[in-house]
Amino acid sequence: MKKGNKILSRLSVFAMALLLFAACGRTPSQKRINKKHAKYVSEMPDAKLVKGQHSKNAEKMAGLIAWEMAADIDSLINGMTTPEKKYGLDKMYCNTAVTTAMRDALRKSNFKEIYGIDLFENARITDMQRGSSFIKYLQKNKEAYDAAAKCINFADITAEDYQDMTKGSIIFYRGNYIDTQTGKTKGAYSHTQMVGGKGFSDDVKGKEADGRNPGGTKFAPSDKGETVTINAYGNLYRYGSDNIAVYNDRPDVVLNEALVIDFEKYLETIMLQQSK
């Protein structure tokens, strides 16, 4: 072999090694995801807001809300609490989990002290438990809702839509239950999820041998990862775009839309309103 060819061959091998190293670095091992997740849910983020820094305060609150949700779901997965103890419910607590995480995050911060309002002061039990009621509750502040809400036809939703969703955002999936025998509509369906942010999960990303995606039990935040959604009632973490296939494979549910509330924008709007 000529000297030039040997050099090219070695360079090719070196390039392949770099690619493999980069691929491995981008997708952490299960062990590393477990370790990073354990650290994440055990260390509460900084909850101290600074007067006048509305944009930074909103971003910090969105992160704290996502952390509260992740920590709660981790506690449920590991049997450290139960839905009955945490939410007073044993089923259909998806929306309650989201509103509870929000309320806990706001309570742990100095939000009320700085901005002079309790966001959930006038909320009824139904507003906390039912997605449709919670949406109406958020709509009472029209300026904040209009700034933060985006409705996507589920038939048109893409992986890129999930990548654009920010940490602490709420996703309301809305559609209908379907009778699998007759194909007729049985009633309205809704489900509430929260966006945990960018990161990695032990979600199987696709389908297992039985054709199902059970979701993951861990979430490790990382700017290098993909958007991960946090799901109560199912108690799991799932790569955002995997929700598309999961719902498309459900014969008992047909979704019409996904309503996304960017809670960072919602809070920032409220903060600006109160500072005027």
Closest CA to 98 of 156, 19, 168: 168
Alpha-carbon span 240 to 174, nearest angstrom: 16
Unique residue bearing structure tokens 């309205």: 188
DSSP class per residue in 88-136: S-SS--HHHHHHHHHHHHHHHTTHHHHH---TTTT--HHHHH-HHHHHH
Which of 93, 273, 253, 82 has its CA nearest to residue 174? Answer: 253
Q: At residue 27, what are phi and psi to the nearest 5 degrees? A: -115, 95
Task: Please report, in tens digits, the pLDDT of each residue of the chain (276 residues total).
Answer: 555 555 555 555 545 544 443 444 467 899 999 999 999 999 999 999 999 999 999 999 999 999 999 999 999 999 999 999 999 999 999 999 999 999 999 999 999 999 999 999 999 999 999 999 999 999 999 999 999 999 999 999 999 999 999 999 999 999 999 999 999 999 999 999 999 999 999 999 888 888 889 999 999 999 999 999 999 999 999 999 999 999 999 999 999 999 999 999 999 999 999 988
Burial (CB count <10 Å: 0-12, 13-18, 19+), residue 134: buried
What's this model's pTM, rounded to 2 decimal places?
0.89
Q: Are 256 and 218 in contact (CB under 8 A)?
A: no
Which residues in 62-92 are b (16+ Cβ under 10 Å) and which e? bbbbbbbbbbbbbbbeeeeeebeebbeeeeb
